[in-house]
Structure 1
Amino acid sequence: MIINPILPGFNPDPSICRVGEDYFIATSTFEWYPGVQIHHSRDLVNWRLVCRPLNRASQLDMRGNPDSCGIWAPCLSYNEGLFWLVYTDVKRFDGNFKDAHNYIVTASSVMGEWSDPVYVNSSGFDPSLFHDDDGRKWFVNMQWNHRTESYGGTPKHPAFDGILLQEWDAEKKRLVGPVKNIFPGSALGLVEGPHLFKRNGWYYLTTAEGGTGYDHAVTMARARTIDGPYELHPDIHLITSKDHPEAVLQRAGHGQYVETPDGTPYHTHLCGRPLPPKRRCTLGRETAIQKCVWRDDGWLYLEGGGPVPAVEVPAPRGDVARAEAPAVIVHDFSGPELPVEFQWLRSPVPERLFSLSARPGFLRLFGRESIGSWFEQSLVARRQEHHRFRAETSLEFSPDTYQQVAGLTHYYNRYKFHALGITLHEKRGRVITILSCAGDYPNGRLSFPLDSGITVPEGRLDLSMEIRDNDLQFFWRPAGAVDWKPVGPVLDGGVVSDEGGRGEHGSFTGAFAGMFAFDITGQGWPADFSRFVYERL
């Protein structure tokens, strides 16, 4: 069986592409760098992260992008010996505008070097490229209407002004011909995330609707010609949990159709797994896949009937077992590259943020702007993939001032995080302190649960945290000691979630566990981390 979610933790907006026996899924990365995650599988059961293609300044620079902006909804396809990746770089979230710029990059191999981007348009986000069987290529994206009261956190249907279609000239590298609005969406509203495919003379269009919260859905329509008119699916929505609060996989929507080599249909979608009692998705929006069937009416349906996504789904092959990830993953930073699980925020100049060669065997972070900065923040982290986990690191850091802090963090964005840090106090000397921002949007004001901190000895320290559902507890010990000492109160770890702060539409990425350093004196004071442990509890 396929066990959903197939990509746990922050992996939303899954675009799936099959080339021969190989399947690839591209997911959104928003403000995290490098941009776009691409996973690979040969059985739809086991998936491995193989690349993040937008990895240099000529392709992507997100410095200054607000939280939950950056790379939205990539579309991955394969045609004429090339992989094509279409994506949006969103530059604004709050207010009436989005400033969403759409680009195309290509590569002969997913794991090879991807081209510099070709600019396409900025009329809306969630672009997709369809390769028709007559050789023509078509670009679709949602159209954004700024003349509404729709703004960050409170989406309104009139702002989601239908799906635009225009032809893409691959030789001229630009859009050509007329622009046509081909699909206004259903009564559910907030139409976005379009994907086209063709079968038996019909053009099928799947879109996401209902927003990123609990009314999310995959809506389906079809037409005899690519520019419509499009008729809605008899059930309107192919996949949704919006009327089924008891379902394990909530917030189901935004995905793409794929067929196995023998023609068996599947459809990806994003989902969330909320925790009681507040229904907060601390793992963010994850990727799942459903097995489908074509009925005699020429429409696609979930194999199990109804629109509610299943946790267990029949795999294409019955002889494949799911390989469980190790319960404990230890990184010692002895290699020349950052471990593949880790990312940083926004900047295409990582050498200003961290180094693996400055002190071999250590990850050195250079303290830059404050934790929560939208420009140059030294924070290296990996996704939270389990509702209960433990993270641990060892740190050498000798600050000169209270303006220099380094440590361990449970991080979502600038107004949803908890951090255990080493710093200097004028009277107490070197101390550990807690910086906590429990959803204070838009101010990002900190609280300090340890007040001025607890004095700690010089030398290397071990820092750790345990997240058990909604609860977070920090710990510390001198390096090499046996016993861990809890520090500070139990904190609200559940606020580090999509629904924390201003609510379900206010942000839509996911929680990370990682290491940070800031130095607001501007000296770039270094902090050396010798290991990082992620443990499933």
Structure 2
Amino acid sequence: MSIIQNPILPGFNPDPSFCRVGDDYYIATSTFEWYPGVQIFHSKDLVNWQLVKRPLERESQLDMRGNPDSCGIWAPCLSFADGLFWLVYTDVKRQDGNFKDAHNYIVTAPSIEGPWSDPVYANSSGFDPTLFHDDDGRKWFANMKWNHRSDVPWAHAKNAAFDGIVLQEFDPEKGKLVGEITNIFRGSDHGLTEAPHLFKRDGYYYLTTAEGGTGYDHAVTLARSKTITGPYELHPQTHVMTAKDHPESKIQRVGHGQLVETPDGELYHTFLMGRPIERHHASNRKNCPMGRETGIAKCEWRDDGWLYLANGTQLPDPTIEAPWAERAQDPDAKITYHFDGSLPIDFQWLRSPKPERLFEVGEGHLRLFGRESVGSWFEQALVARRQEHFQFHATTTMRFDPDDYQQNAGLISYYNRHKFHFLAMSQDPEQGRVLTILSCNGDWPECRLSFPLDGDLPVDTGEIELGLVTEFEHLQFYWRPAGGQWQKIGPSLDAWVLSDEGGRGEHASFTGNYVGMAAFDMSGRAKTADFTEFTYDPGRGSIDMGAA
């Protein structure tokens, strides 16, 4: 027997759209402001998943320069019909305030690897789009509708901004939405209705939505109708799955997923989830440094014609039996990345469709071109991978020769521009080359820096190694000259803030923490920094304090 361990996609991988083509399974997840856009994973067994493609990878498809934190690519939907993969998604240009500028697009490809087309514009009425291919050949596009009015009597009592699910036909020949726009489902009393997905069974159209917001009240709601335009009746329990009534569970924030049936008729439903640190912060709030991840649950149809979790509850299990006996890969394996010819697929950068301005991968090094500050929404030379564990350490080897204090490069633990810790090398006018720490502890919107190192540390020229150890809510930086002894640098820092709940709190940030390499040059001279390797090690305990 093989076991599926939740989360199946650890680290920042929210809003999972689930698709089967023959014996192949695919999950597409949101990437927000990280480039390239949308992560697509592949599996043959539902146990082992491999990242195989980020399809939005060129300027004609996606340009997020200027997108605020936690905007960008929201809630993709992946499907297969007519010999093509179809991917619909939202590019959100504004998050805060009454307005939500959210533009929805469709791209297609003959295979997951591509080539993926340039986008076809759909609409801008809201986010979380889906594309349903009906058995009569028609295609239907649905998304939540955003209401910028909060003072109107017809708005939903729970949250006026979420004005239900709207549906319109998509004409692939004309390349646009056509016909009447219909609000088919205004949601349950739980409110904040979003993330629609449609499927059909025994003459009913079933509509899956997410409700309750993407925090600890999140839920998967199911409704059905004899006609695609409604009216839709609610599931007898309203929610197929939720963790909102189970604060003791290690799986929280359950919602936003999609159903797939195996060739053998077994049913599995993806869901968004969060793993809070078991120990609470002084604020008494839980925090999820990995952000929103992807889990999977086994489901079943019952005699009443409704879908339920197979375990008889509304709470997904941490582990479930896999449909086939496959050996799971080690999720805690140490990974050392070498930079030879191309950027390893685990790494992403921020917003820009012009990576050649931010970095290059040569023979044995990643070279960052110092651009705008670590707080920029336009051009950041920051290349990083997801945090996937509560406890891990990361190291990198760097060569950097700054000649001005406006030039900084080093190792960063980064959630967004107001939540990060950055061990950087710079140049002090009096001391020469120094190590310093730049932190932003959730100070929004000012994003003021603190400098927790009590006096910058002078270091010699030449190659240097930088490291960090994260243990739940604590982060400690290390450094050593090449071949020397590891040494702590600076105090233990607050890693709790590097989470969805850190800083502004729940519902203000929607991504997850990254660890990687960064450089900036505020003089505009694009000073370069070279990194020769990067290691991510989930092993418990501190960095080996011995010599290299």
Q: TM-score range by the shorter chain?
A: over 0.9
User: What residue number does 2:543 align with?
Assistant: none
User: What residue number does 1:51 align with?
Assistant: 53
Which of 305, 309, 321 lines up with 2:327 in the alignment?
A: 321
**118-127 vs 156-165, which moves further:** 156-165
Q: Distance in 2 between matches of 1:431 and 1:71?
A: 38
**141-150 vs 35-44, which moves further:** 141-150
Q: Distance in 1 between matches of 2:146 and 2:333?
A: 44
Cα distance change on mapping 1:348 and 1:399 into 2, 3 Å? same
AA aligned to 1:415 is H
Which of 454, 465, 470 lines up with 1:467 in the alignment?
A: 470
Contact 2:158 2:189 in 1 (8 A): no
Q: Distance in 2 between matches of 1:217 and 1:182?
A: 19
Contact 2:243 2:251 in 1 (8 A): yes
User: What residue number does 1:296 align with?
Assistant: 303
Question: After the TM superposition, which parts of structure 1 deviate over 6 Å for at least 4 consecutive aligned residues?
Answer: none
Contact 1:96 1:149 in 2 (8 A): no
Contact 1:433 1:451 in 2 (8 A): no
- 2:506 counterpart SS class: coil
For residues 132-180 of structure 1, what are the alpha-carbon distances to aligned partners after superposition, in whole Å with 9 as ceiling and x for unaligned?
Answer: 0000000000000011289xxxx96110000000000011011111000
Gaps of 5+ in 1: none
**TM-score for both structures, normalised by structure 1:** 0.97
Gaps of 5+ in 2: 540-548
Contact 2:414 2:420 in 1 (8 A): yes
- 2:356 counterpart SS class: helix
Shift of 1:64: 0.2
User: What residue number does 1:415 align with?
Assistant: 418
User: What residue number does 2:483 align with?
Assistant: 480
Shift of 1:452: 4.4
User: What residue number does 2:516 align with?
Assistant: 514
Q: Distance in 2 between matches of 1:416 and 1:11?
A: 19
Shift of 1:462: 0.3
For residues 62-97 of structure 1, what are the alpha-carbon distances to aligned partners after superposition, in whole Å with 9 as ceiling and x for unaligned?
Answer: 000000000000000000100000000000011111
User: What residue number does 1:3 align with?
Assistant: 5
Which of 402, 406, 409 lines up with 2:409 in the alignment?
A: 406
Superposition pairs for residues 65-80 of structure 1, below 5 Å?
65-80=67-82
User: What residue number does 2:150 align with?
Assistant: 148
Contact 1:34 1:52 in 2 (8 A): yes
Contact 2:129 2:195 in 1 (8 A): yes
For residues 223-273 of structure 1, what are the alpha-carbon distances to aligned partners after superposition, in whole Å with 9 as ceiling and x for unaligned?
Answer: 000000000000000110001001111000000011001111111001000
Which of 314, 323, 340 lines up with 2:345 in the alignment?
A: 340
Task: Indicate yes or no: 2:85 matched with 1:83.
Answer: yes
Task: Indicate yes or no: 2:450 matched with 1:447.
Answer: yes
Superposition pairs for residues 201-220 of structure 1, below 5 Å?
201-220=203-222
Which of 170, 176, 199 lines up with 1:168 in the alignment?
A: 170
Q: Distance in 2 between matches of 1:136 and 1:432?
A: 61
- 2:496 counterpart SS class: helix
Q: Distance in 1 between matches of 2:338 and 2:332?
A: 16
Which of 221, 235, 243 lines up with 1:241 in the alignment?
A: 243
User: What residue number does 2:337 align with?
Assistant: 331
User: What residue number does 2:40 align with?
Assistant: 38
- 1:351 counterpart SS class: helix
- 1:380 counterpart SS class: strand
Q: Distance in 2 between matches of 1:149 and 1:427?
A: 59
User: What residue number does 1:361 align with?
Assistant: 364
Contact 1:149 1:156 in 2 (8 A): no
Contact 1:148 1:156 in 2 (8 A): no
User: What residue number does 1:259 align with?
Assistant: 261
Contact 1:425 1:452 in 2 (8 A): no
Shift of 1:325: 3.8
Q: Distance in 1 between matches of 2:487 and 2:250?
A: 36
Q: Distance in 2 between matches of 1:74 and 1:190?
A: 18
